[in-house]
Every structure is written in C-alpha cells, then in structure tokens.
Structure 1
Amino acid sequence: MADYTQLATDIIAGVGGAENVTKVIHCITRLRFTLVDKDRANAEVLQSLSAKGVPAITALYNANLNQYQVVIGQAVEDVYDEVVNQLGDSVVDADATNAAVAETGGVKGKGSKNPFVRAFQVVIGTITGSMIPIIGLLAAGGMINGLLNMFVKGNNIFNVIDPSSSTYIIVSTLAMTPFYFLPVLVGFSAAKQLAPKDSSLQFIAAAVGGFMINPGITNLVNAHVGTNAAGKNIVVEAAAPIAHLFGVTFNTSYFGIPVDLPSYAYTIFPIIVGVAIAKPINAWLKKVLPLALRPIFQPMITFFVTASIVLLLVGPVISTLSSGLSFLIDHALSFNLGIAGIIVGGLYQCLVIFGLHWLVVPLISQQIAATGESSLNMIASFTMLAQGAGALAVFFKSRKSDLKGLSLPAAISAFCGVTEPAMYGINLKYSRVFIMSSIGAAVGAGIGGFFNLHMYGFSGSLIGFPNFSATHVYNPTLHKMVEGNPNNFLIFWIATIACVVVSMVLVWMFGYKDTDVMGAGVEKKNAFKDAVSK
C-alpha cells in the first residue's frame, strides 16, 4: 500500500491549512472540504501535486454544495484516512461521507430537471455504481484466461497444456467464474449502490442472483445429466415449449403461468432491475412488520416476491432487450469490422467523458461469455492504448517538470487499462492531445478490424496482450474449441505499434507545445457529471 502521508500534508496546506478546514468527507473519487475561507485554497498548488498511485489531481470549488473538492481517483479512501489522521476526528462526518459515496456511485439528489435526462442519469448512475467494484474481478478473469491461452497446445506460443485436460478445464472455469456469477456479484453490488444503509438487501439481492443461475432452474429448460430410478446417470432432454405468443417461446410455467425462462448467467440488467424492485419492498416491510417478526419475514417475503417478479416478468423482458441490442452491435461490427474499428475507435473515449462507456461493459462481457471473444473490446483496447501514448508524448516533449511528473504515471496507468488519469489529467486539458490520440486509436482499431483481430479476454491496452495470444479458443455456447485468426498475435503487435507511433507522432507534431495554456478540461461540460462517477 502506498504511503500518502506527504500527499495528505500537501493537500491540507493546499486548501489553506488545518485551521481552514471545518469538515472533510469523500465520495467515490474526491475529497470534499468545507472551509472557513475558500479563497485561501490554491487550486494551482493542488493540481501540481502528484504521488505514487495518484497520477492526476484536480481541484475545484462547488458553489452549490459549498465544498472545495479535490479529485483523487481510486486512492481517495486511503488519502482521506491520512487526511483525517492529521486533522483529527473533529472533521469527520461519517453519515455525509456514506451519502456522498452512494450519490456519486449512482445518482445525486440534484439531477437534471429534464425528466428524460433525469431518467437517463438514474440508469447510467446505477449501472456505473454497480459495475465499478466488479470490473477488477472481470479483468482478472480475462487475464487468467488470456495467459492460459498462451500455454495451450496448438496456439504455437508455449504449447504446454492440452485443451482437453482437466488442468485446462479447471483453470478456464476459474477464469470464467466471475462472468458466470455476474447476477450474484452485481446483485450484491447494486443493492449496496441503491440502498447503502440497508445491509440486509445486499444478501437478499445476491440470493436472487443465485436463484437465477441455480442449476435447479436452468435444468427445467436445458438438456442436462440426471439420474433415473436406479441411480444411473442419464441425459435429460430439454423441455418442450408449452406455448408461443407474439414470437416468444414459453418454455416452462410458474403457478400455471407460462414463463419464458432465459439463461441468466453472464447477465447484469435483470438483477439490477430486480434490486430496484426489492428495495421498496424491503423498506416497506421494515416499517409494517413487528420487530419480533422482522428478522425472518422481511427477507423471506422480499426474496420470494422479488424472485417471482424477476422470473415472471423482468428477466424475460430485460434479457430479450439486451440480447437484441447485443445482436445489433454484433452484426454492425461484423458487417465491416475495419470501418467499425475506425469509427468506434476514434469516438469511444468520448463515451468515457460522459461515463457512457459503462453501457458497453455488459455488452463486452456478454460477447465473451457467449463466444469466448469480443470484437468490441478489441476496439476499446486500442483507445486505452492511444490515450496512454498521447500522455507519453507529452512527457517526452514537455520541459515542465510538474507536467512530466504527471504525464508519465498517467501514461503507465493507461497502458494498464485505466485511462482516466491520462484523460482528465493531461489529454482533455490540452484538447488537441485528446484529438490526436483518438486518431491514433482509430488507426490501431482499424488495422485490427481489417485484419480480423480477435480478443479473447476482458483486460485491454498494453497489459492485456495475453488476451490476443490465442489462435483458437473455447466457445462457451458451442461447448467446443473454435478456430480464430492464425496470425492473431502478430496482428496485435503490428496494430499496437501503429497505434502508439501514430498517436505519439501526431501529439508531438500537432497536439502539444509548452506554450499551450491548460484548459479547464471537461468537468463543466459533462452533462451527466451528477450521475456518473469518474
């Protein structure tokens, strides 16, 4: 764990000293100070700070909240703990901190007055807050799967592990487990996001997610191995449809009601909607049930009612919609992946500015879960790489020591798949850097698309190179190995070099010079900043 003692000391000095601080709380990415005199804070000093693990710091005053906010990023809790350690417990407001974390993980109380924008904020904020804690785990699973593919016989890299061996099956199962159990993980996370003070709802939501992927449910409609009266294993055929209506096949029933039971493994939207339904039910039961009955009957009723609604209505509708959206994206990409790579690659990081990239994450995970690869993630990977290359070009070209100290760690972070430090610390503040980097991303993704580059995992950018190593990979839907591009790894490195070189050359020539004046970035341009955590 990094030592943030000196950084905390510098931040306290930057906001006017300990005597100028009356309260400090934190949200997902920011320290929020209530100051005696806001004019004593020095934004330039704060923005010049950098420390290991905190490559980009931004400071701003929020007049609506009367808070001086210092954007830290992922290390905010560690820095907050050290700030409190130095200032003392008198500045702590635990309730305000919990509320701020909940709000910035989802939707703040003061959103847009436009009901359509407000509804959009709710959706984006909920998805964002639910997925953020799980992204690292999904990336870990993808990396394990990518490294495994490097050692599989037939992929012509290390040729060590037989793809039919128990070792391969165990490791590949381990790698895909976070994806398969997404309803459980997202259910727990979404409950914590939507009702941070109701800990009981988190476990109810996880149980609903577990119910959705329980083999007892999936075996109702899928072929599986069972046992006969003699105790011998037999193959039980998939259940025959019981009804058809408006093109929908109902494959089982619940209390005599026909049900279209899809596969919930690898999905997130049905459980998020389920949690949104469970929250008011659980809160209402807490109010009306006697205290003596509450420990048993509150979770029992919430669990049963929520699971039933998901089974009868939410799951089939949401799964059908998400599958349809994924189908459209898959076919749009397959029409001409090279052109799609150029267009999406050039514009993808614009989604990051508004936090809309979280809508893409479930589609990527669904592609990987269904086919073992994701062309959409291949494109996104080059956009991360390009933003890091742009920041690296600034590091080499700039003569400013403070900017060099900021741009190098930001570039390293982007090469590791986290682009926000490079985006918000460098590239968007010098907007031409962002534009030139995005052109480099379009070049890299376009080359990958035209040469049919496959990506077999979740982690992207430079650190995700193992996810491009396979020439064939296990397809979860077909339950067999499928052939890929025999030159996949070579194409990846060619596209990677092109992406980095083009990004750096363009930034060097047209994107940055030391006489440029740093802009305000996109903080005030983000229409959904109240709903989206950066």
Structure 2
Amino acid sequence: MSAAIDLHSAESADSASAGISEVVGAKTDGRKGLLAVIIDGISGIFLPIVNLLSAAGIMKGLLVILSGTGLLEQASGTYLVCDAMASSLFTFLPVFLAYTAAKQFGANPFTAVVVAGVMLYPNLVAVQSAGTTVTFLGLPILGVKYQSSVIPIIMAVGLLVFVERGLDRILPAMVRGFLTPMIAIVVVSMVTLFAFGPFGKVVGDGLAAGYEWVYALSPIVAGLLLGGAVQPMVIFGFHWSLILIGMNNIAVSGHDTVLALMGPAVFAQAGAALAVMVKSHDAAFRSTCASAGLSALFGITEPAMFGVNLPRKKPMIAVCAGGAIGGALAGFSGAQASAFAFPSLAALPIFVGDGFVVYLISCLLGLAVAFSLALILKFEVDIN
C-alpha cells in the first residue's frame, strides 16, 4: 500500500510540477509569451476531442434533418436512442474537458473528472433545475447549467494543479495518496460551485451577448471580417477563441452564427489548393494538392494551408478573399448552427434551417472566388 501511495505522490507531484513549470517557464522563454501559452493550452485541451465533437455535431445535424422531414418521429424510441448517441458528448462535455485539461495542465486527470462529476451530479442538477436554491453550510449556491459548459471546468482544473502541488508538498507521504485527492476534490468543488460556475456563467453570457450585439449591428460586415480573418487566425491558433464563443453560444442559446461565418473560409482553403493543383506541372505535388483540397472540404484545412497555400503566399490572399466574400453572404443568409461541429462538407446538416440554401451558395462562392483568384494571381507554383 505504501508503495502505491508513494507512486501516486511521485506521479502527482511530478505531473503538477511539470504542468506548472511548463506554464510559468513558457512565459520566460523568449520564443513564447503569455498569449502563446494560452493558445497552446486551449489547443491542447480541445484537439484530443476535435473529431469526436465534429462527429457528434454531424449526428445531431442529421437528426434535425430526419425529424424535420418526418422520417423519424421525435417521440419514437429510435430518435431517443440516436439523440443519446449524438448528445452525450455535449451533455457531459465538462467530463471530457476535465480529462484533457488535466493532461494539458499537469493535474491528476481522475481527480479532475470527479470534480466534473460533482458539477453534473444528477440529484444536484435536478434540484437546481426545479428552481430550488441549494445551500452548503448555510451559503446559497447559484444555479448554473454545467452541461455543455466550457469555462468553469477549465478554471477548476487550473486551480486543481496548484491545490495538488501544495498538498503534495505539505502532506506526509504516508497519507498523501488519499488525502491529496480528497482535500483537492472538496476544495476545488466548493470553489467551482461558489465562484467558477457563477463567474463562468457571467463570462459565457457576456461573450454570447457581446457577439450577438456585434452580429446584430451588421451580419454582413461580421461575416466579411470574420470570414476574411479566420484562416490566418488558424496559423497562430487564435481561432480557438472563436471556437470557444461558438460552443458557448450553443450551450447558452442552442444556436450559433460564428460557425456559419467560418464555413466559407474552409471551402475557400480547398478552392485555392485545387487552383494550385491545376497550375502545377509536378505530378506528385498535384496529388498532394488534390488530397489537401479534399481534406479541407471535410474540415481539415491544415494540409492545404501549410502544405500548399501558405508557402506560396498569394493563394492565401485568395483564401482570405474567398472567405470574406463568402462570409458576407453567409451573414446575409442568417444561417445558424444547431450543434457544434467544425464547418465542413460533412457538417452542413447542422446548418439546416432558415437561410440554409443561401448558406450553401455562400460556401460555394467562397470556394469559387478563392479558386478563380488563385488561378489569376501570379506566383511560383512548383517551389523546391
């Protein structure tokens, strides 16, 4: 037993120290500032579940189509089971984020999952959903909807790193194995329920309201600016901030326009890569362009961006132009995502609804503009 305790303590301490030193040390590294650390952190949290999120979002989109066309009754058992398959990831998203955030920050992932479990505990959720105020030691806990939430659990895991590290330093090795997680669960859960949850709700509601305010001023201008900028943002990882807003919008209101405005730029990336393929005389590189363009159509733009368009610079100008023009039309369409999925050909079902036909045209327009402009612009195609 003592061996197991020592092993846990060593792993926890090493993991926490590694996570903290990575965060703190990165800031002092001349090549990486605080902003880069934050971007790396967000990317590291979401990248492991990106494909799962897209798959679940596409499933929800298909359910919308099936139920909307009458092919599947919402009251049927088949729909209930399919909805469980599509919605479980989003319902228990804090659990997944707890694990990936703990891995990224250097906390104990299983302790983090327990904290997420506290947030989603059915009895607690049921009482709060009924409008009853829950008190702990006489102090009221604000009712917060944690299903599909993002901000509170990330903050909780960030605190968990410091709590575990502090406990591992002061507790004797003999009791560290069980006292560290026990105390950490109590402390972090309480801080989350009393502070992080309400704070995350305020921030999340604020982000959603702020974006909706900007979007309401001019959806067309919002689409023009966002569509033109989003692919360069991917280069630096800045697009994760938009992903957070999109996920938060869906969690708060059940729909989102950020993802819709990002869509044409994804198709523009594919269009530019295909134009480079047409201009190339290198058979091997033409094959690379074709596969990169196909990947971009299905939402994986990195091969097209980093392998084809960005090294030649001017095709990226075409991408930005296509994304901007297509994004403006997407804003005009008023299309919204009913679930989360990275914009792609396969994710189109999540945009079914008002403005869907115009949204399809906006995606095709983004592809066509980028393709045409990349053909017209002069640049060295077959570079070594």
Report if TM-score (shorter chain) is over 0.5: yes
Report if aligned partners of 1:384, 1:461 keep a CA contact under 8 Å in 2.
yes
Give the alignment partner of residue 74 of structure 2, picking from 152, 163, 183: 163
Equivalence for 2:160: 278
Report if aligned partners of 1:338, 1:447 keep a CA contact under 8 Å in 2.
yes
* Bigger-Rg structure (1/2): 1
Report if aligned partners of 2:312, 2:380 keep a CA contact under 8 Å in 1.
no
Q: CA deviation at 1:326?
A: 1.8
Counterparts of 2:56 and 2:196 in 1: how far apart (Å)? 28
Question: Per the alignment, in what secondary structure is the counterpart of residue 199 of structure 2?
Answer: helix
Give the alignment partner of residue 505 of structure 1, picking from 346, 366, 372: 372
Q: CA deviation at 1:208?
A: 0.5
Kindly report which structure 2 residues correspond to 1:289-438, keeping only aligned pairs within 5 A, or say none. Answer: 289-438=171-320
Where in structure 1 are there 5+ consecutive unaligned residues?
Answer: 1-97, 224-237, 240-250, 472-484, 519-534
Counterparts of 1:511 and 1:347 in 2: how far apart (Å)? 22
* TM-score (normalised: structure 1): 0.64
Counterparts of 1:161 and 1:395 in 2: how far apart (Å)? 42
Q: CA deviation at 1:110?
A: 4.3
Equivalence for 2:344: 461
Aligned-residue sequence identity (percent) comes to 28
RMSD over aligned CA atoms reads 2.6
Greater relative contact order structure (CA < 8 Å, 6+ sep) = 2
Deviations 1:331-369 (CA, angstroms, capped at 9, x unpaired): 212332222111110111121111111122222122223
Kindly report which structure 2 residues correspond to 1:17-56, keeping only aligned pairs within 5 A, or say none. Answer: none
* TM-score (normalised: structure 2): 0.87
2:369 counterpart letter in structure 1: V
Counterparts of 2:97 and 2:179 in 1: how far apart (Å)? 24
Deviations 1:301-329 (CA, angstroms, capped at 9, x unpaired): 11111111111222212321122012101
Question: Per the alignment, in what secondary structure is the counterpart of residue 221 of structure 1?
Answer: helix
Equivalence for 2:48: 133
Counterparts of 2:84 and 2:257 in 1: how far apart (Å)? 22
Answer yes or no: is 1:203 the counterpart of 2:116.
Answer: no
Question: Per the alignment, in what secondary structure is the counterpart of residue 456 of structure 1?
Answer: coil
Give the alignment partner of residue 95 of structure 2, picking from 168, 177, 184: 184
1:330 counterpart letter in structure 2: E
Equivalence for 2:138: 256
Seen in structure 2, the aligned counterparts of structure 1 residues 312 and 268 have a Cα distance that, compared at 3 Å, is same
Equivalence for 2:11: none
Give the alignment partner of residue 359 of structure 2, picking from 492, 498, 519: 492
Report if aligned partners of 2:333, 2:359 keep a CA contact under 8 Å in 1.
no
Report if aligned partners of 2:72, 2:79 keep a CA contact under 8 Å in 1.
yes
2:310 counterpart letter in structure 1: L
Counterparts of 1:453 and 1:220 in 2: how far apart (Å)? 36
Deviations 1:371-426 (CA, angstroms, capped at 9, x unpaired): 43321101112211111111111011111234323222211111111111111112
Question: Per the alignment, in what secondary structure is the counterpart of residue 253 of structure 1?
Answer: strand
Q: Which has the higher helix share?
A: 2
Report if aligned partners of 2:141, 2:193 keep a CA contact under 8 Å in 1.
yes
Give the alignment partner of residue 59 of structure 2, picking from 140, 144, 149: 144
Q: Which has the higher strand share?
A: 1
Deviations 1:224-258 (CA, angstroms, capped at 9, x unpaired): xxxxxxxxxxxxxx23xxxxxxxxxxx54322234
Question: Per the alignment, in what secondary structure is the counterpart of residue 311 of structure 2?
Answer: coil
Q: CA deviation at 1:513?
A: 4.7
Question: Per the alignment, in what secondary structure is the counterpart of residue 135 of structure 2?
Answer: strand
Counterparts of 2:300 and 2:125 in 1: how far apart (Å)? 36
Give the alignment partner of residue 221 of structure 1, picking from 119, 128, 140: 128
Report if aligned partners of 2:264, 2:365 keep a CA contact under 8 Å in 1.
no
Of 451-460 and 123-132, deviating more is 451-460
Counterparts of 2:337 and 2:101 in 1: how far apart (Å)? 28
Where in structure 2 are there 5+ consecutive unaligned residues?
Answer: 1-13
Counterparts of 1:375 and 1:313 in 2: how far apart (Å)? 29
Report if aligned partners of 1:398, 1:513 keep a CA contact under 8 Å in 2.
no
Give the alignment partner of residue 449 of structure 1, picking from 331, 334, 339: 331
Seen in structure 2, the aligned counterparts of structure 1 residues 320 and 511 have a Cα distance that, compared at 3 Å, is farther
Report if aligned partners of 1:400, 1:514 keep a CA contact under 8 Å in 2.
no
Report if aligned partners of 1:372, 1:456 keep a CA contact under 8 Å in 2.
yes
Q: How many residues align?
A: 366
Deviations 1:146-191 (CA, angstroms, capped at 9, x unpaired): 1222222x44xxx310133332233223212211211111011111
Counterparts of 2:277 and 2:262 in 1: how far apart (Å)? 23
Counterparts of 2:169 and 2:159 in 1: how far apart (Å)? 17
Report if aligned partners of 2:267, 2:366 keep a CA contact under 8 Å in 1.
yes
Report if aligned partners of 1:143, 1:459 keep a CA contact under 8 Å in 2.
no
Runs of 4+ aligned structure 1 residues displaced above 6 Å come to: none
2:99 counterpart letter in structure 1: F
Report if aligned partners of 2:224, 2:328 keep a CA contact under 8 Å in 1.
yes
Deviations 1:406-455 (CA, angstroms, capped at 9, x unpaired): 22221111111111111111211111100111111122222222122233
Deviations 1:109-151 (CA, angstroms, capped at 9, x unpaired): 344569xx83333322222111111111111110111122222
Give the alignment partner of residue 104 of structure 2, picking from 173, 178, 193: 193
2:119 counterpart letter in structure 1: M
